[in-house]
């Protein structure tokens, strides 16, 4: 099949009514499947007094109960190896991924053969959307062990790209491969993209001159959607950066940027998105910031119905300048990372937004949350660039004012250190210390 700008033009540019009609048809099927085959849903739907037959429109879903990470953990291994949320017998399952367990017991995500193939078709589509073509050489520099992002390389292969299964190589070997094999696209995390480019430079290798990377895909942290962070990485590598977003409970990537870099198109053929109020669980109008709630529309092995992701963001359905009508998400951070100062919700990603946009600093930062007299405060440590002769006090004042303007509440203190003082991290960076 010859493809143009889109992987699946008919679906990606369909009128909203058509996309939503397809979602409704699949929602009815998956709700019936879950109720009939997953003991958890039978119980929870009965307790809430709802039945799959009650779904006549997408809006009817709001009468159904939520689930969350805890539901998954509690039901795992209950009754059977796959647990009470699973809706198929184990012999139909061909793959399970396992979450990192960064916030508790690792949870696994099972796939049937069809689930797996459809997942990889979504990955191909997202890679295509981010500009990957069969003539690309692609290095998949993501962890392969247990992590749901590993198998995404199959989506790139199915697209026709030449794939190098990099995994988590030591930096010097990765730099060697980037120089010698000249891949044109790479997937890693924003922190690692920065670290790797910076490390290469320190050893006399210029990513712009000595590599041939045209596209960097990133996921796992907020950086890819923070304009100043994106720009800094793009300049370091001389490449375009595309933010990807996935959930270990669903797919390695569920959404990705297109060439417009304005939000991430989410796979609406597989995921129905709702945005709800953090405290009340009430549905918010499109475009408002809240907790993202997903219902998987086709995943047979373990359907997730109204899964509260803990991710905070917005969902918009206006047509994108790229021509796609598929909705876009803007993720601002994790509910768990948010902290409250003077009744204001503060997200570390907002602090990164400010620090990365500030002149005369390196962009590295560390946030410390403290408590005094039952009141929370935050303190931000930044680094002054080596070529900046400004007084530390003046840098601190600029940073403090910019933070107040963006977030609404001033930091208790801004600490300014010389270039190179903060630890450069690989992969998922730990940039928040909560001392409360
Ligand atoms: Zn677009």
> In the numeric block, which tokens belong to residue 293?
């709630």
| Domain identity same for 74 and 9 | yes
Reported as a single tens digit per residue, the pLDDT across 300-339 is 999 999 999 999 999 999 999 999 999 999 998 888 888 8
Reported as a single tens digit per residue, the pLDDT across 204-240 is 999 999 999 999 999 988 889 999 889 999 999 999 9
CB 48 within 8 A of CB 54: no
Average pLDDT over residues 255-279: 97
- Above 60 in pLDDT, residue 1? no
pLDDT (0 to 100) of residue 222: 84
CA of 262 to the centre of ligand 1 (A): 7
Residue 71: Cβ within 10 Å count = 20
pLDDT (0 to 100) of residue 336: 81
| Domain identity same for 309 and 385 | no
| Domain identity same for 396 and 326 | no
| Domain identity same for 231 and 165 | yes
- Above 70 in pLDDT, residue 427? no
CA of 259 to the centre of ligand 1 (A): 7
| Domain identity same for 309 and 354 | no
User: How distant, in Å, are the alpha carbons of 68, 82, 356 from that of 107?
Assistant: 11, 10, 34
Mean pLDDT of the chain: 93
CA of 12 to the centre of ligand 1 (A): 10
Q: What is residue 265's DSSP assignment?
A: E
CB 353 within 8 A of CB 365: no
| Domain identity same for 209 and 345 | no
CA of 257 to the centre of ligand 1 (A): 7
CA of 21 to the centre of ligand 1 (A): 21
Give the CA radius of gyration of the chain: 22
- Above 90 in pLDDT, residue 343? no
DSSP class per residue in 248-262: TTS-S-SEE--TT-S
CA of 270 to the centre of ligand 1 (A): 18
SS3 211: coil
CA of 269 to the centre of ligand 1 (A): 16
| Domain identity same for 283 and 246 | yes
CA of 323 to the centre of ligand 1 (A): 6
CA of 308 to the centre of ligand 1 (A): 25
- Above 60 in pLDDT, residue 142? yes
CA of 324 to the centre of ligand 1 (A): 5
Count of domains observed in the chain: 2
CA of 167 to the centre of ligand 1 (A): 29
Which of 303, 333, 363 is where one domain is finished? 333
CA of 74 to the centre of ligand 1 (A): 38
Reported as a single tens digit per residue, the pLDDT across 82-104 is 999 999 999 999 999 987 665 56
Q: Tally helices (H) and strands (E) across the chain.
A: 12, 19
- C-alpha 400/C-alpha 359 separation (Å) is 13
Among candidates 359, 341, 337, which has minimal Cα distance to 349? 337
- C-alpha 43/C-alpha 35 separation (Å) is 8
CA of 247 to the centre of ligand 1 (A): 21
CA of 321 to the centre of ligand 1 (A): 6
Using a 10 angstrom Cβ sphere, with 0-12 exposed, 13-18 middle and 19 or more buried, the burial of residue 333 is buried
| Domain identity same for 248 and 379 | no
pLDDT (0 to 100) of residue 12: 97
CA of 292 to the centre of ligand 1 (A): 20
pTM above 0.85, yes or no: yes
Name residue, tokens 């709702």. 274
**CA quadruple 169, 175, 178, 180: dihedral sign:** negative
User: How distant, in Å, are the alpha carbons of 26, 64, 91, 235, 429 from that of 55?
Assistant: 11, 10, 30, 50, 43
CA of 320 to the centre of ligand 1 (A): 5
Which of 333, 362, 383 is where one domain is finished? 333
| Domain identity same for 390 and 420 | yes
| Domain identity same for 267 and 292 | yes
CA of 231 to the centre of ligand 1 (A): 19
Partners of 331 in the beta sheet?
Answer: 313
Domain that holds residue 419: 339-434
pLDDT (0 to 100) of residue 77: 87
CA of 285 to the centre of ligand 1 (A): 21
CA of 152 to the centre of ligand 1 (A): 21
- The secondary structure element, H or E, covering residue 177 is helix 171-180
Which of 305, 333, 361 is where one domain is finished? 333
DSSP class per residue in 72-113: HHHHTTSSSTT-TT--S-GGGEEEEEE---TTSS--EEEEEH
pLDDT (0 to 100) of residue 428: 63
CA of 130 to the centre of ligand 1 (A): 9
- C-alpha 60/C-alpha 419 separation (Å) is 55
- C-alpha 147/C-alpha 173 separation (Å) is 21
CA of 216 to the centre of ligand 1 (A): 17
CA of 127 to the centre of ligand 1 (A): 13
The domain that holds 407 is classified in CATH as 3.30.300.30
CA of 214 to the centre of ligand 1 (A): 19
Report the DSSP pairing between strands 93-98 and 108-112. Answer: antiparallel
CA of 19 to the centre of ligand 1 (A): 16
The domain that holds 33 is classified in CATH as 3.40.50.12780
pLDDT (0 to 100) of residue 335: 86
| Domain identity same for 123 and 78 | yes
CA of 235 to the centre of ligand 1 (A): 22
Reported as a single tens digit per residue, the pLDDT across 28-86 is 999 999 999 999 999 999 999 999 999 999 999 999 999 998 899 899 889 888 999 99
User: How distant, in Å, are the alpha carbons of 29, 91, 152, 251, 403 from that of 301?
Assistant: 13, 11, 18, 13, 45
Average pLDDT over residues 183-209: 94
- C-alpha 82/C-alpha 268 separation (Å) is 26
CA of 128 to the centre of ligand 1 (A): 12
pLDDT (0 to 100) of residue 146: 85
CA of 369 to the centre of ligand 1 (A): 37
* Residue list, CB under 5 A from ion ligand 1: 258, 260, 320, 322, 324
SS3 215: strand
Reported as a single tens digit per residue, the pLDDT across 350-404 is 898 899 999 999 989 999 999 888 888 999 999 999 999 999 999 999 999 999 9
| Domain identity same for 112 and 145 | yes
């Amino acid at each position: 099949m010859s493809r143009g700008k889109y992987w699946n033009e008919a679906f990606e540019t369909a009128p909203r009514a058509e996309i939503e009609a397809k979602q409704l048809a699949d929602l009815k099927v998956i709700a019936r499947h879950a109720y009939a085959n997953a003991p958890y849903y039978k119980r929870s739907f009965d307790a809430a007094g709802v039945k799959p037959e009650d779904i006549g429109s997408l809006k009817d879903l709001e009468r159904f109960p939520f689930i969350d990470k805890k539901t998954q953990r509690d039901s795992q291994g209950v009754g059977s190896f796959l647990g009470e949320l699973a809706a198929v017998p184990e012999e139909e399952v061909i793959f399970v991924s396992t979450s990192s367990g960064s916030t508790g017991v690792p949870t696994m995500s099972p796939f049937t053969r069809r689930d797996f193939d459809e997942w990889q078709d979504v990955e191909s589509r997202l890679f295509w959307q981010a500009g990957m073509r069969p003539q690309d050489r692609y290095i998949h520099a993501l962890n392969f062990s247990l992590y749901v992002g590993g198998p995404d390389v199959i989506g790139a292969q199915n697209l026709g790209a030449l794939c190098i299964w990099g995994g988590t190589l030591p930096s010097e070997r990765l730099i060697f491969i980037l120089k010698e094999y000249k891949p044109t696209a790479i997937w890693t995390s924003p922190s690692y993209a920065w670290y790797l480019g910076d490390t290469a430079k320190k050893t006399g290798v210029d990513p712009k001159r000595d590599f041939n990377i045209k596209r960097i895909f990133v996921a796992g942290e907020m950086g890819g959607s923070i304009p100043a962070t994106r720009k800094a990485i793009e300049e370091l590598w001389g490449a375009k950066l595309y933010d990807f977003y996935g959930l270990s409970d669903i797919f390695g990537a569920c959404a990705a940027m297109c060439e417009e870099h304005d939000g991430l198109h989410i796979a609406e053929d597989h995921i129905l998105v709702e945005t709800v109020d953090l405290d009340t669980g009430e549905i918010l109008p499109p475009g408002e910031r809240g907790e993202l709630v997903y219902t998987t529309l086709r995943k047979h092995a373990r359907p997730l119905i109204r899964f509260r992701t803990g991710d905070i963001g917005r969902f918009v359905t206006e047509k994108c300048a790229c021509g796609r009508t598929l909705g876009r998400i803007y993720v601002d951070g994790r509910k768990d990372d948010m902290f409250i100062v003077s009744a204001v919700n503060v997200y570390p990603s907002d602090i990164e937004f400010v620090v990365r946009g500030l002149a005369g600093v390196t962009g590295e930062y560390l946030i410390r949350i403290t408590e005094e007299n039952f009141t929370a405060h935050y303190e931000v440590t930044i680094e002054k660039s080596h070529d900046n002769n400004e007084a530390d006090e003046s840098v601190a004042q600029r940073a403090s004012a910019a933070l107040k303007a963006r977030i609404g509440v001033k930091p208790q203190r801004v600490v300014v250190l010389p270039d190179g003082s903060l630890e450069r991290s690989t992969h998922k960076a730990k940039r928040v210390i909560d001392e409360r």
